[in-house]
A and B are shown apart, each in its own frame.
Chain A
Amino acid sequence: MMLHLDAKDEAMLNGDCGPAAQLAMRILARMAGVYGAARLMDIVGAHIDSTVYIGEAGMEYAERLAALGAQVAVPTTLNVSGVDMGGWQDWAVPQDWATKAHRQMVAYHSMGAIPTWTCAPYQTEYKPRFGDQIAWGESNAIVFANSVIGARTQRYPDLLDVCCAITGRVPAVGLHLDEHRTGEVLVRLRDVPERVQRDEAFYPVLGHLLGRIAGDRVPVVEGLIVQPSEDQLKALGAGAASSGAVALFHIVGVTPEAPTRDAAFHGAPPHQIVDVTMDSLRRARRELTTSEGARVDLVVLGSPHLSLPEFKQLAPLLAGHKRHPGVKFLVTTSRVVALLARQTGLMQVLEDFGGQVTVDTCVLTSPMLPPEIKTLMTNSAKYAYYSPGLLGVTTAFGSTEDCVRSAIAGRVVRDESLWT
């Protein structure tokens, strides 16, 4: 298909809108060719994941764009960075890393983006609305925006998201268009009792399984008999976007594009039907634990970043207790949620427990963990999935309550009653 650029696109490509817009449009137009797009379309917002610090090339890319005078054309939030500038010295982050990751933060902030520094931009005041065309990076944010909000974004990779933000344009392909938002695989919950569906750990486990089943297809979940909370859907999406490349899911009767099964499939039959039973959920739950035995060195919550409601849920579990001296207890969140938690007294409860907080980044995107941390425990499918490969640690997966009890006991303690 031949790409047709409109007059505004051509002007950017010719440098009429400055050298930064020209570079961004050149990359975007080449990528539109790769995607097979016939045209570009306008967006109303962006979320930049290129903020994640990987190395000097990514920093140089941000600084090149910034030096050319790049400014975002639409309201743009920023994903996690590579460093918590307020607390990196408490951890194992090398000075050189902190300096360069901060340079990259400065470059992206200078483009006029909003310094949210969070992987949960959908839980900020900049949350998009149903039907909005947006360009978002960060897999968990993408799947939440598409599925739970009904906004429309492709899976924008790092380096491209910023080009979309600067030009205000995206290739008109994929999930931006109605016809690609239709369900492909029907996932039926079979005999999954309500008490399991009410449990908070059910959602990351189902998400992990959903990613395995769907790959890069659009799954439609049927058989949920409870109304999950926003945070539960967030945990589900993060799991599905880690074990698979899920950018959109539908849940019949829950998500906005799936009032009925027929609506989710746009009236067509599913390509495939997969039944999910307690057996398959138990297997998925086991996959999230790679450690053997009861050792735990760090309990970490907050991937995606902990929300204020999650802080509120956590506080009564912590109150009146202290973590075991051999186990660190860490919450990763955004700077805004941390501030609100401080103002509402929730942070004090965490600190009295012996817990710590890291903002603007997380344990996967900042080299903060000292080498003596060999096993971490988490309630997050995303942390559990990526930590072994990225950090060389083993993981234990459990509910939030399991995590807190383990931090107190100094060894992995899990309530298995729901899963046996």
Chain B
Amino acid sequence: MDVILRGTPIVAGEAQGLALVSPEPLSFWGGYDHHTGEITDRRHALSGHVAAKKILVMPFTRGSSTTTAVLLEAIKSGTAPAAILTPQVDAFLALAAIVADEMYSLPLPIVALAPDDYATIHTGDRLVISQDGAVFRDASLA
């Protein structure tokens, strides 16, 4: 654990897992199968990847306001990412995480990172996220 990125916890929580970096925004409605955690937007760079239990790193959500409802279903079903890192505050992701916390006491950690820090994360990095928004990267396993 030799790198620490100081993020802002939009929804606080702890998580660990492998990073899955999306080069582009994603709409969960029409783009994420909440039964399996697969990214199903066939126009998307991560089409076919399973984001369940991964730490999803993506710029922001796109399009439909139903994204929040799809992510809530995924959190309840255990098919959501373990955490989501963004370079800016994304209200749609935060809302799904907040409602999951209120309904099921299942908060999904959402952390906003400075754009420079955000850009240093690569798919496959092993990340640990703490309550205060710190993101630890284990370089030895990367």
Give the docked Cα–Cα distance between A228 and B45 (Å).
37
Q: Which residues of A contact B77 (CB under 8 A)?
A: 55, 57
Once the chains bind, are A54 and B65 in contact (CB under 8 Å)? no
Once the chains bind, are A159 and B91 in contact (CB under 8 Å)? no
A36-66 vs B, CB cutoff 8 Å, 1 = contact: the mask equals: 1000000000000110101111101100100
CB distance from B49 to the nearest CB of A (A): 15
Specify the chain A residue showing the minimal Cβ separation from B67: A157
Give the docked Cα–Cα distance between A159 and B102 (Å).
12
Give the docked Cα–Cα distance between A56 and B104 (Å).
13
Q: Which residues of B contact A242 (CB under 8 A)?
A: 63-64
Once the chains bind, are B66 and A54 in contact (CB under 8 Å)? yes
The contact of B75 among A34, A52, A57, by CB within 8 Å, is A57
Considering only residues 229-274 of chain A, those with a C-beta below 8 Å from chain B are: 241-245
Q: Which residues of A contact B92 (CB under 8 A)?
A: 157
B84 within 8 A of A: no
CB distance from A225 to the nearest CB of B (A): 31
A139-B64, A160-B68, A389-B31 in contact; A57/B103 too (CB < 8 A)?
A: yes
Considering only residues 41-73 of chain B, those with a C-beta below 8 Å from chain A are: 41-43, 62-70, 72-73
Specify the chain B residue showing the minimal Cβ separation from A57: B76
Q: Which residues of B contact A55 (CB under 8 A)?
A: 34, 69, 73, 76-77
Give the docked Cα–Cα distance between A30 and B29 (Å).
23
B111 within 8 A of A: no
Considering only residues 74-99 of chain B, those with a C-beta below 8 Å from chain A are: 75-77, 89, 91-92, 94-96, 98-99
B8-37 vs A, CB cutoff 8 Å, 1 = contact: the mask equals: 001000000000000000000111001000
Interface band, chain A:
35 or more
A34-B10, A34-B89, A386-B30 in contact; A26/B102 too (CB < 8 A)?
A: yes
The contact of B66 among A49, A60, A244, A389, by CB within 8 Å, is A49
Q: Which residues of A contact B103 (CB under 8 A)?
A: 57, 60-61, 64
B40 within 8 A of A: yes
Once the chains bind, are A159 and B30 in contact (CB under 8 Å)? no
Give the docked Cα–Cα distance between A31 and B77 (Å).
23
A338 within 8 A of B: no
CB distance from A122 to the nearest CB of B (A): 16
A27-B99, A61-B99, A389-B40 in contact; A158/B89 too (CB < 8 A)?
A: no
A35 within 8 A of B: yes
Once the chains bind, are A31 and B95 in contact (CB under 8 Å)? yes
Once the chains bind, are A157 and B95 in contact (CB under 8 Å)? yes
Q: Which residues of A contact B66 (CB under 8 A)?
A: 49, 52, 54, 157-158
Give the docked Cα–Cα distance between A209 and B114 (Å).
31
CB distance from A258 to the nearest CB of B (A): 24
Give the docked Cα–Cα distance between A142 and B65 (Å).
10
CB<8 Å pairs between A and B, sample of 30: A23-B102, A27-B95, A27-B99, A34-B91, A49-B65, A54-B34, A54-B66, A54-B69, A54-B72, A55-B34, A55-B73, A57-B69, A58-B69, A58-B73, A60-B103, A137-B65, A139-B64, A155-B65, A157-B65, A157-B68, A157-B91, A157-B95, A158-B66, A159-B95, A160-B95, A243-B63, A245-B62, A386-B64, A389-B31, A389-B40
The 6 closest A-B pairs by CB, nearest first: A55-B73, A389-B30, A57-B76, A158-B69, A157-B68, A390-B30
